[in-house]
Structure 1
């Protein structure tokens, strides 16, 4: 039982950390908050991670309701999630950052600066479709209260790490350098693609078996 929890915890941490990938999105955060004070940048990072946390919790606990309402099976969602993860992993493997709507005109608007922590930082940069899909699927796979507590705790821990990485972004960028950031992104992209294959075939296998049996 203890080993199962450790295995589950490692899966949750690895999947969420690689999908949220704060190291690759941190340069985007720094560029969007470059004109803000250190205190304001810290507040923005805090608000963004909190919004992302509660958004992930909302989808994690409402996933079953969404499945029933739209008539979606968990296995179908795993297949779609696998495709999303694979596409994200491929982009990361090519060292390409996610496309975020951000123009020079928007940077000059005060309202945009105030709301930047919600959109696009929290959604979709931190809490993107991959992380949302992961939260729903892993909550469906959490069959005990302990697994659910571990899932929520690790989500909070990953977002805490995201906050710390964003706050210390300038030092991390200088330490890793451009080459270091690209290497880290490619490594995480490879891990995401492996997780994607696991998700895809874990959803496809039961569907194929049902088709053959019918």
Structure 2
């Protein structure tokens, strides 16, 4: 795979698992009736926290796997399966791994700061996007590619921040049908990328070597 194709694949994987549009739709519902200045503050803090967590996973994920004696091929298979499950939930329009359930939504409606929970985690930096960050970083072969992955994570965070600020307009523009179509298309793309991660993992499996 060429460097440009690898970078594009990594960017799509990160963008789909982070899901700026899905995040914006949920953000609009959670912050309905809140003053715009407070919404901007919530969006900024949640994106900053999520970005820090994702960048940490991308940089230190390989070290943690090594300490746990988990090989990269094994994690590629496990991560590919995890991403495929998220792809299925997106394709069939059910809550994904990085979405929040009704219990979490009710908890977020109570008093307290929702920037950390549920906005930063699990909505933005959920299991799917955290796995994707480690997987795409594990595919890099040099510091240039590694830096490109970190830059793509930052770019996805910036897109998510802008989407959250424009959440009300996105909801009016897309509506439930438009958001559903975007989710299903994202699910199909993610399914293909997830299967490729599994293939890559199996190709590096010691029992299949030779």
TM-score by length of 1: 0.90
Specify the alignment match of 1:89 in structure 2.
Answer: 87
Distance in 2 (CA, whole Å) between partners of 1:205 and 1:127 is: 28
CA offsets 1:152-206 (integer angstroms, 9 cap, x no match): 1111011100010111011111111111110110000111111111011111232
CA RMSD after TM alignment: 1.8
Specify the alignment match of 1:68 in structure 2.
Answer: 66
Distance in 2 (CA, whole Å) between partners of 1:206 and 1:146 is: 23
Specify the alignment match of 1:125 in structure 2.
Answer: 123
CA offsets 1:14-47 (integer angstroms, 9 cap, x no match): 1111111121232211111113111111111111
Cα offset, 1:5, TM superposition: 3.3
Specify the alignment match of 1:108 in structure 2.
Answer: 110
Specify the alignment match of 1:145 in structure 2.
Answer: 143
Distance in 2 (CA, whole Å) between partners of 1:135 and 1:201 is: 18
Q: Larger deviation: 162-171 or 135-144?
A: 135-144
Specify the alignment match of 2:16 in structure 1.
Answer: 18
Cα offset, 1:106, TM superposition: 4.7
Q: Which runs of 5+ in 1 are unaligned?
A: none
Q: 1:212 to 1:182 in 2, by over 3 A?
A: closer
Cα offset, 1:105, TM superposition: 5.7
Larger radius of gyration: 1
Q: Which runs of 5+ in 2 are unaligned?
A: none
Within 5 Å, give how 1:1-214 maps onto structure 2. 4-97=2-95, 98-100=99-101, 101-104=103-106, 106-109=108-111, 111=112, 114=113, 116-207=114-205, 210-212=206-208
CA offsets 1:31-66 (integer angstroms, 9 cap, x no match): 111131111111111111111111011111111221
CA offsets 1:92-144 (integer angstroms, 9 cap, x no match): 011123233435465231x2xx2x11111111111111111111122222221
Q: Partner of 1:142: helix, strand, or coil?
A: coil
Higher helix share: 1
4+ residue runs of structure 1 moved beyond 4 angstroms? none
Q: 1:108 to 1:99 in 2, by over 3 A?
A: closer
Cα offset, 1:211, TM superposition: 1.8
Distance in 1 (CA, whole Å) between partners of 2:21 and 2:5 is: 24
Distance in 1 (CA, whole Å) between partners of 2:208 and 2:13 is: 32
